[in-house]
Every structure is written in C-alpha cells, then in structure tokens.
Amino acid sequence: MKLQELKPNKGATRSTKRVGRGQASGQGCTSGKGNKGQKSRSGYSSRPWFEGGQMPLQRRIPKRGFRNVHAVDSEAVNVGRLDGLGVTEIDAVVLEKRGIIRSATSRLKVIGGGELATAISVRAHGFSKSAKQKIEAAGGKVDVIVIPRRPKRLKKKAERKS
C-alpha cells in the first residue's frame, strides 16, 4: 500500500450539495432558500444572539451581583494541615504542589485551626494571632510577605521624572 492509494471508507464521504444548477438538480430556482427576504440574499449572516427584533435574552434577564475588578484572590490554610508535610520550610509553592491550595500566585493566609507538633518555617502573606502563637510555640518561624502598596503606574511616572 502506498500513500497515494489511501482512500476513505466507502460511504464515509458525501459529495457537496450543488445548488442553483437547474430544476432537474432538485435544488434549482431558489436553491433551497425559499422566496424573498433577507435570508435568501447573498452575503446574509446573522449574529448568534439575534432574535429577529425580539428583546434579546441578554437584555431580558435581570442583572444581579457585582464583580470587584480590584479584588485579590486569597486562600486560607489551617495550621493543622501544615504539620504532616515532612518539609521544614513551607510557602505557597510547596502547598500548591501538595494540592492543599489551588494557586501559588494567590495570597496565602495561615489560620489557627488544628495543632502543630513539629518546628516549621512558614512564609505567607498573613497569619492569624492563634496561628502565629502555635507556630512559634512549636519552635517554628513566621515570615510575613509584605507587598508594596504603591501602584505600578506611579512607579513608572517616578522613574521617568528622574
């Protein structure tokens, strides 16, 4: 068998419909588009959401809720979940690899649920008072990630001036 001898299976393909080739073809005259109207003309295309002048669905349905564009994703982890990981230094990347949090890019807060027996060093954006006490009582270390408050657009302006 050669590459040029390959063919699709019998009945797998159909020939294209030849419209507008006379009455005997079965698709002559109006070519299956009916009589007159916008849809029978060449070049007609309809937007998928168009409903023929009826009030569209996206305008009929009431608006609900609010999505804050400035909201920052954050995830919380209990101290008890950090105990049996077998790692001395814990951060968002380690927790993401273990499947404890969804994303290492979101802000991480450690809260005080559960107990901690081993001494671990935890690096996160925030800690509750009880979580901080439990980690330090077990002989561990708490490292808070501080994010600068100044927006990037102001930084760029300051760099241009100097």
The pLDDT of residue 158: 59
Domain that holds residue 84: 75-144
The pLDDT of residue 148: 81
In the structure encoding, which two tokens stand for residue 25, read together?
Answer: 């073809």
Count: domains in the chain: 1
- Position 58 in a domain: no
pLDDT digits (tens, 9 = 90+) for 56-112: 999 999 999 998 988 889 999 999 999 888 888 999 999 999 999 998 889 999 999
pLDDT at 23 over 70: yes
Q: Say whether pTM exceeds 0.75.
A: no
- Position 29 in a domain: no
**Alpha-carbon gap, residue 151 to 131, rounded angstroms:** 30
Which distant-in-sequence residues (6+ apart) come within 8 Å of 144 by Cβ? 124, 125, 126, 127
Cβ 26 vs Cβ 18: under 8 Å = no
pLDDT at 155 over 90: no
- Position 160 in a domain: no
Question: Chain centroid to CA 35: how far?
Answer: 46
Kindly report the CATH number assigned to the domain that includes residue 89: 3.100.10.10
**Alpha-carbon gap, residue 1 to 108, rounded angstroms:** 61
Spell out the alpha helix ranges (H) of the chain: 57-60, 79-82, 92-97, 129-137, 152-161
- Position 65 in a domain: no
**Alpha-carbon gap, residue 63 to 90, rounded angstroms:** 43
Complete edge-to-edge strand list for the sheet that includes strand 141-144:
89-90, 121-124, 141-144
In the structure encoding, which two tokens stand for residue 161, read together?
Answer: 């001036």
Q: What is the 3-state secondary structure (H, E, C) of 99-137?
A: CCCCCCCCEEEEECCCCCCCCCEEEECEECHHHHHHHHH
pLDDT digits (tens, 9 = 90+) for 38-49: 899 999 998 988
Q: What angle do CA 98, 102, 105 make, to 5 degrees?
A: 105
- Position 116 in a domain: yes
- Position 153 in a domain: no
- Position 60 in a domain: no
